Amino acid sequence: MAGKRLTLADVARAAGVSKMTASRALRNAGDVSRANIEKVQQAAREIGYIGNPIAMSLSNQRTNLVGVVVPSASNIVFAEVLAGITEALSDSGFQPVIGVTDYNIDREAETIRGMLSWRPAGLIVTGLDQPEPTRQLLEHAGLPVVQIMDVDGTPTDGCVGIAQTEAGTAMARALIAQGRRRIGYIGCDLAGDTRATKRRAGFEAALAAAGVSLVGTLVSEQPSSVVAGRKLTVEFLSRHDDIDCLYYSNDDIAVGGLFHCMDAGIPVPEQILLTGFNGLDLVQALPAQIATTHTPRHEIGLKAAQLILEAADQRSNRVDRMIELPTRIDITPGFPR
Amino acid sequence: MAGKRLTLADVARAAGVSKMTASRALRNAGDVSRANIEKVQQAAREIGYIGNPIAMSLSNQRTNLVGVVVPSASNIVFAEVLAGITEALSDSGFQPVIGVTDYNIDREAETIRGMLSWRPAGLIVTGLDQPEPTRQLLEHAGLPVVQIMDVDGTPTDGCVGIAQTEAGTAMARALIAQGRRRIGYIGCDLAGDTRATKRRAGFEAALAAAGVSLVGTLVSEQPSSVVAGRKLTVEFLSRHDDIDCLYYSNDDIAVGGLFHCMDAGIPVPEQILLTGFNGLDLVQALPAQIATTHTPRHEIGLKAAQLILEAADQRSNRVDRMIELPTRIDITPGFPR
DNA sequence: ATGAAAGCGCTAACAT
DNA sequence: ATGTTAGCGCTTTCAT
């Protein structure tokens, strides 16, 4: 039953025309008489013909694939970016192909190379800070490339993201404006995650400008999670108990911190103000206030994919646009009570 | 600079052999003299040759793509399944291609059809309850298919999942064993999510067997989230306040419920025992106890991909295995205190 | 408006 | 062990 698949020749035969006419009729390309268009499309439907994109691609030198390279598949942030990409691509006839690097630059290069060999219509790559060889790869790919999440740097082609350093700076100022002075930093800054590093740098710089320096810093190489955040907070507080604010590298670990504080009876935010990053849905529902910076993750994916689609549409091999999306600081989140 | 890509002919020329010898040398296929293998691989490396998988696929009638169809990209559960798949595939030379259906059966059929046209090495599809036409599609695909998440039913080919109905049953028994009798159900059972429906059915059946019936039921069509869970819980409790247990369709909404209870001063689990499903990392860190059923999401993805790889390895177009992974009920989770 | 021929880059099958 | 010949299924010339 898994017999050989139908080809264009079958459609042509069924419709009583040549392969070429059938091909054109199915794609609405070139000049074909209305009568033949009908006949061919009818025949194709009847015999259940599905085109072979592989043959098409080989002939065309182009595919309907969009490569997407992210550092982590299970991180909710990238899952949401992916959802945005999927949404933008959903009715376009393009298909995303996902590659995951696990924050490993060698794997990243390998993944990108593998994707390029498929000649995708475009590539969406996380981050702006690839090592030079990888950067070269992207530069000479000869197809639209959009780097996402970050705008602090120079993209090889297009770029959709947020100002990471500035996000850190802005939050530092906001915390100081709230009167916090004894501030600690807790981060899961994986080596490959330059965004977190930039935020932290911006944060510390702004503190310094206000004459404040971090009371303490605790950085872990493990992937971020609520559980990790809880453990790190316990550890941090065992070293520094005279704290009025904690800046975390993201919401996950900040939420873990909050859970510890609730168990330990530490009033949040009165005694310690906890600060995450991303503005996850979860944070809106928490039984205590934690501060965060909302980031447009879904929209980043959406926009990035749209840029690729536009370029593909114009048969351009460049995107050449830099899009900075706004973030929003929220120091009084919490469920409407 | 984006000049025409190098082809096998270029490698052959550089190495001073025929295209065929070059092809064989690069794939370690057929008999090639050691000397020529060296020469060809050396030449390929030097000129920077990358094979063209599209041409390869057209010739081979097979690709190194593995199609993956999931209902949601942003749901952490599927993100973790994806991570498992990615891990299994990572060094195999196979690439996942993701399709998202948004719990829409028409989109699911369309997505599967689109993937099949690429002749992937295999297909991983969420769920066991596709409508008949889609089922036919899978049946006649002529390639290994693994349906995931669920084992309550008849897969078209292979299958890796958990016993959903039984999971509901088991939790009902456990709750009754805890002495709970006034039990309510809150679910985000999207129409397409037959797994949640099965759990609920199993749950209610086991209650009935114990002579207990649900005090109330609140079902929403919106996607599940912590925020949604919180709202639904508020609504449920406004109708039924004489409750000692709530069974939610998953952890996300259960956590939302917990947050409401904490704010409302309802002692959890003393007054109301909250019950989720999945055993998310988040649940381990909560400042109060909620019950849950741990599910091996990562492992489901891992196993499913491994089955595809095995089949591809043996050039089989069937998997023909049903793997049921165990779940584990946890009524006393909570961070080590 | 339609069709015939050539070729996209590779590999299976058949020589040698 | 190596090379030659035919495709894989489609589209892009180029005729008609």
CATH no. for residue B91?
3.40.50.2300
Q: What pLDDT is attached to residue A56?
A: 94
CA separation for the pair A171, B266 (Å, rounded): 34
The sign one gets for the Cα dihedral A99, A116, A195, A290 is negative
| Judgement on whether residues A169 and A288 belong to the same structural domain of the protein | yes
| Judgement on whether residues B158 and B171 belong to the same structural domain of the protein | no
CA separation for the pair B302, B318 (Å, rounded): 18
**SS3 call for A149:** strand
CA separation for the pair B68, B63 (Å, rounded): 14
Angle at A251 between CA A248 and CA A257, to 5 degrees: 65
The sign one gets for the Cα dihedral B21, B26, B30, B31 is positive
| Judgement on whether residues A156 and A302 belong to the same structural domain of the protein | yes
Q: Among residues 251-270 of chain A, which lie with CB inside 8 Å of chain B?
A: 255-256, 259-260, 262-263
Cβ pair B2:A317 closer than 8 A: yes
| Judgement on whether residues A170 and A270 belong to the same structural domain of the protein | yes
String of DSSP letters for A191-235:
TT-HHHHHHHHHHHHHHHHTT---SEEEE--SPP-HHHHHHHHHH
What are the C-alpha distances in Å from B168 to residues A107, B18, B83, B275? 41, 63, 26, 11
Inside any domain, residue A58: no
Closest to A191 (Cα-Cα) out of A107, A114, A80: A107
Among all residues of chain A, which has the CA nearest to that of B260? A287
Cβ pair B76:A73 closer than 8 A: no
Residue type, B167: A
Cβ pair B98:A86 closer than 8 A: yes
Q: What pLDDT is attached to residue A335?
A: 53
| Judgement on whether residues A38 and A141 belong to the same structural domain of the protein | no
Cβ pair B226:A281 closer than 8 A: yes
| Judgement on whether residues A47 and A115 belong to the same structural domain of the protein | no
Beta bridge partners of A328: A294
DSSP-derived pairing of the beta strands A328-330 and A292-294: antiparallel
**SS3 call for A302:** helix
Residue type, A135: R
State the total domains in chain A. 3
Among all residues of chain A, which has the CA nearest to that of B108? A90
CA separation for the pair A260, A102 (Å, rounded): 28
Nearest to A285 among B53, B98, B230 (CB): B230
Q: What pLDDT is attached to residue B314?
A: 87
* Residue A5 approaches strand D within 7 Å at CB: yes
Burial A81-92 (b: 16+ CB within 10 A, else e): bbbbbbbbbbeb
Per the structure, the complete domain to which residue B291 belongs is given by 164-295
φ/ψ of residue A151, rounded to 5? -120, 5
Q: Among residues 146-205 of chain B, which lie with CB inside 8 Å of chain A?
A: none
* Residue A335 sits at the chain B interface (C-beta within 8 Å): yes
Among all residues of chain B, which has the CA nearest to that of A256? B285
Nearest to B52 among A53, A98, A117 (CB): A117
Inside any domain, residue B264: yes
CA separation for the pair B71, B125 (Å, rounded): 9
Whether a cis peptide bond, with omega within 30° of 0, leads into B269 is yes
Cα A104 to its chain centre, rounded Å, is 16
Determine the nucleotide nearest to A12 by Cα–C1' distance: C3
Among all residues of chain A, which has the CA nearest to that of B73? A83
String of DSSP letters for B277-320:
SB--HHHHH-SS--BEEE--HHHHHHHHHHHHHHHHHTT-S---
* Residue A144 sits at the chain B interface (C-beta within 8 Å): no
Inside any domain, residue A150: yes
| Judgement on whether residues A183 and A285 belong to the same structural domain of the protein | yes
Inside any domain, residue B59: no
| Judgement on whether residues A182 and A156 belong to the same structural domain of the protein | no
| Judgement on whether residues A95 and A198 belong to the same structural domain of the protein | no
Inside any domain, residue A35: yes
Query: CA-CA-CA-CA torsion for B179, B185, B186, B191, nearest 10 degrees?
Result: 140
Find all residues with CB under 8 Å of B100, minimum gap 6, and list them. Answer: A83, A86, A90, B69, B70, B71, B72, B73, B111
pTM of the model: 0.92
φ/ψ of residue B248, rounded to 5? -100, 160
* Residue A91 sits at the chain B interface (C-beta within 8 Å): no
| Judgement on whether residues B137 and B168 belong to the same structural domain of the protein | no
CA separation for the pair B73, B10 (Å, rounded): 42
Quickly tell me which residue has 């970016």 as its tokens.
A81
CA separation for the pair B35, A318 (Å, rounded): 43
Among all residues of chain A, which has the CA nearest to that of B318? A2
Inside any domain, residue B95: yes
What are the C-alpha distances in Å from A314 to residues A30, A305, A318, B322? 18, 14, 10, 47
CA separation for the pair A256, A229 (Å, rounded): 4
CA separation for the pair A283, A285 (Å, rounded): 5
| Judgement on whether residues B99 and B133 belong to the same structural domain of the protein | yes
CA separation for the pair B114, B142 (Å, rounded): 15
Q: Tell me the nearest-neighbour CA distance from A87 into chain B, angstroms.
A: 9
Q: What residues in A contact B223, CB-CB < 8 Å?
A: none
Inside any domain, residue B238: yes
| Judgement on whether residues B111 and B199 belong to the same structural domain of the protein | no
Q: What pLDDT is attached to residue A192?
A: 83
Inside any domain, residue A279: yes
Q: What residues in A contact B225, CB-CB < 8 Å?
A: 281
Q: What pLDDT is attached to residue A2?
A: 45
Query: CA-CA-CA-CA torsion for B259, B262, B267, B269, nearest 10 degrees?
Result: 20
Q: What pLDDT is attached to residue B138?
A: 95
Nearest to A287 among B55, B72, B259 (CB): B259
* Residue B41 approaches strand D within 7 Å at CB: no
CA separation for the pair A302, A89 (Å, rounded): 8
Protein-covered nucleotides on strand C (Cβ within 7 A): 1-5, 7-13
Angle at A229 between CA A190 and CA A297, to 5 degrees: 60
* Residue A233 sits at the chain B interface (C-beta within 8 Å): no
Q: What residues in B contact A335, CB-CB < 8 Å?
A: 227, 230, 259-260, 263
Q: Tell me the nearest-neighbour CA distance from A233 into chain B, angstroms.
A: 12
* Residue A113 sits at the chain B interface (C-beta within 8 Å): yes
pLDDT string in tens for chain A (337-residue length): 445 689 999 999 999 999 999 999 999 888 899 999 999 999 999 998 999 999 999 998 889 999 999 999 889 999 999 999 999 998 888 989 989 998 999 999 999 999 998 989 999 999 999 999 999 999 989 899 999 999 999 999 999 999 999 999 999 999 999 999 999 999 998 888 999 999 999 999 999 999 999 999 999 999 999 999 999 999 999 999 899 999 999 999 999 999 999 999 999 999 999 999 999 999 999 999 999 999 999 999 999 999 999 999 888 889 999 999 999 999 975 454 4
CA separation for the pair B148, B161 (Å, rounded): 5
Q: Among residues 301-330 of chain B, which lie with CB inside 8 Å of chain A?
A: 317
Residue nearest to nucleotide C3 (CA to C1'): A18
What are the C-alpha distances in Å from B49 to residues A239, A288, B6, B230? 55, 57, 6, 56
Give every residue of chain B whose pLDDT is below 50, as ranges: 1-2, 333-334, 336-337
DSSP-derived pairing of the beta strands B245-248 and B95-100: unpaired
Beta bridge partners of B278: B294
Q: What pLDDT is attached to residue B3?
A: 53
Q: What pLDDT is attached to residue A313?
A: 87
What one-character DSSP code corresponds to residue B325?
A: P
